[in-house]
Structure 1
Amino acid sequence: MAEIERLLLIAPPRMNRTPAFDRAAALAKVKSASLHIVAFDYVEGVAKAALANDEAIHVMREGYMDRHRHWLEMQADGIRHLGVQVTTEVVWVAKPFDEILAHVRGINPTLVIKDLHHESWLSRAFFTSLDRRLLHDCPVAVHLVASVRHGIPRKILAAVDLFRVDDHFAHLNDQIIITALRLAEQCDAQLHLLHAYDLSYIHSLDGGSGYRNAVMDELYENQQRAFSFFADLFGVPAECRHLVTGNPVQVIESFMNDHDIDVVVMGTAHRDWMNRLLGSTTAHLVNHLPSSLLTVIPRADETPNAQV
């Protein structure tokens, strides 16, 4: 008998129902998975209440957490009516990242679901957000939800990179498309396959002799062949294949807006130390993501695994 999947929803510290709740409930339903909801509380005014002794602060903290537990249970009851097994938890912690990883190790979920918080460019320049840290370091797939048009996704986009693939992550594109196909099947959703590649560096070549144009034409033909072979391999219909030249982040964002994509499935590979410092395509995209992102973690030592 197959083991039941478990999903982990990171609820916001404030007691408000966010898009991630709707997506987590819908995915738990279609996957026949259990759902654990955890909120990480920390209220500065309660933690350092003026004119209060330690016992009074403890009472205030426990009172706040009790109200949050009650609120979470009310949300969980609504999800339980869908036939989903739901548990809830409230943890008092100032910096939740380490605690999230501890929960991942403890309950071994197949997927961590969290609301996406768009950061200003100034914040990104000086601070690493919790979302970006999860993209880099979470050992399981992460589903970041910016907005939800449909609880159950209706259109899913698999964004692959066939132009430059490190040997170390040779199976990553396979893992992305298999993950997207399985999710589309579970949700009865339409799957689109997109390969966006940037040839802007070719413009630095001397174009006076026509050499630059010849190189670009040859590269484009090679990409067409590789993309067609890849799409054929996984049975993607012709009308759902999209090969686009341009900056990958801009191409993916525009495509998601133009085609009402609910979820984009991407990898979290970092090709070299410089790209890791500057951020991958996936990390850059989250700053502008119009709907939701599902990550696939590259595992070079395994055959493609689509269990998310």
Structure 2
Amino acid sequence: MSQIQKLLLIAHPDRHDTPALQRATALAGQCGASLHVIACVEPFATFSLLARHVQNDARENMLIAQRERWENECRLQRGRGVGVEMTSSVLWTTDLRTDLLQAIGELQPDLVIKDIQHESAFKRSFATPLDWFLLRECQQPLHLVHSAQHPLPRRIVAAVDPADPRTLINGINDRIIAAANGLALQCNAQLHLLYIYDCMPAYMANRAEGAVAWVDLVEDMRASLHNAFVRLADDHGVPQERRHFLMGTPLRGVSRFAQEHEMDVVVMGRVHRTGVERLIGSTTEHVLDQIPGSVLAVGA
């Protein structure tokens, strides 16, 4: 990630001093970047049932409340003397996703920051969560924050997959590591490299070959994947003690590693998908429900 100069925080609709705000102000102060906060106000469930003049009054009151809230926060940040240039705007919207993408496109921030919003599996079956939508459609690097034990990250891990043909074609692994390394340099944080390799698909395809053949297959596969991982780590100068090559399923493996090693940020890739892949969702999308710290998603 190049030097961060412009940050955009998508404000939490209900809460104020959130992990994403803490992360955004810490990064802005560390990098000398400007921080703009956009607060989106949507009509409540029974808004359309109100008389027109009542709707107008309610909308204006909601906008004023949010505007005053964030203007006060901007004044507080300036008063703390930490050098954060913070501005805010309030947007009334009846089409949150479209309006957010339009605002992001107009502002062209170096990094978009937002609190992770957890949705139940039942709710996800009827509608794509906003975080998933942004992962798929937002063109800028997207930083989704669950918690910020350290507002300024201290430990950052780049989660890569050198075996996936798509990552080799579009160079996403290099971009993941570059983004993680850039953020680590700007935050004076440790950079780690993680690859969770999964042998189960190969087992399912070759289970008729017998146990001995399976053991040989796993060992050959492990050696091949490890060589690819080492080449990638060598290319980017990652120290030996910060390389992590582990067997498991990507979803559980990444989440478990981040928790056990107290990672503040997990940097992952996102690949645009269609059809069934879009319906199922990617590892990056599903890991949002399990990650203890935060995710930085880098586009292909």
| TM exceeding 0.5 | yes
Q: Which amino acid aligns with 2:227?
A: R
SS in 1 for 2:125: helix
SS in 1 for 2:238: coil
Deviates more, 1:104-113 or 1:205-214: 205-214
The 3 A distance-change label for structure 1 pair 208 and 195 is same
Give, in angstroms, the shift of residue 3 of structure 1: 9.4
Runs (4+) of structure 1 moved beyond 6 Å? none
Q: Which residue of 2 aligns with 1:242?
A: 244
Q: Which amino acid aligns with 2:119?
A: E
Q: Is the 8 A contact 2:3 2:31 kept in 1?
A: no
The 3 A distance-change label for structure 1 pair 21 and 240 is same
SS in 2 for 1:210: helix
Deviates more, 1:62-71 or 1:40-49: 40-49
Q: Which residue of 1 aligns with 2:101?
A: 101
Choose which of 50, 57, 60 in structure 2 pairs with 1:59: 57
Q: Which residue of 2 aligns with 1:274?
A: 276
Give, in angstroms, the shift of residue 251 of structure 1: 0.4
**Alignment RMSD, CA only?**
2.0
Which structure 2 segments of 5+ residues have no match?
A: none
- Count, aligned residues: 295
Indicate yes or no: 2:200 matched with 1:200.
yes
Q: Which residue of 2 aligns with 1:5?
A: 5
Choose which of 222, 226, 229 in structure 2 pairs with 1:227: 229
Q: Is the 8 A contact 2:19 2:145 kept in 1?
A: yes
Q: Which residue of 2 aligns with 1:291?
A: 293
Q: Distance in 1 between matches of 2:95 and 2:77?
A: 28
Q: Which amino acid aligns with 2:24?
A: A
Give, in angstroms, the shift of residue 249 of structure 1: 0.6
Q: Distance in 2 between matches of 1:231 and 1:87?
A: 39
Q: Distance in 1 between matches of 2:74 and 2:10?
A: 13
Q: Is the 8 A contact 1:198 1:247 kept in 2?
A: yes
Q: Is the 8 A contact 1:118 1:288 kept in 2?
A: no
Q: Which amino acid aligns with 1:111?
A: L
Choose which of 237, 255, 262 in structure 1 pairs with 2:257: 255
Percent sequence identity is 38
Which structure 1 segments of 5+ residues have no match?
A: 299-308
Q: Distance in 2 between matches of 1:103 and 1:239?
A: 42
Give, in angstroms, the shift of residue 264 of structure 1: 0.4
Once the two structures are superposed, residues 224-275 of structure 1 have per-residue CA deviations (whole angstroms, 9 ceiling, x without a partner) of 1111121111111111100011100100000011011110000001466432
Q: Which residue of 2 aligns with 1:303?
A: none
TM-score, scaled relative to structure 2: 0.92
Give, in angstroms, the shift of residue 62 of structure 1: 1.2
Q: Is the 8 A contact 1:7 1:110 kept in 2?
A: yes
Once the two structures are superposed, residues 279-300 of structure 1 have per-residue CA deviations (whole angstroms, 9 ceiling, x without a partner) of 11111111222110001111xx
Q: Which residue of 2 aligns with 1:142?
A: 142
More helix by share: 2
Q: Distance in 1 between matches of 2:34 and 2:19?
A: 18
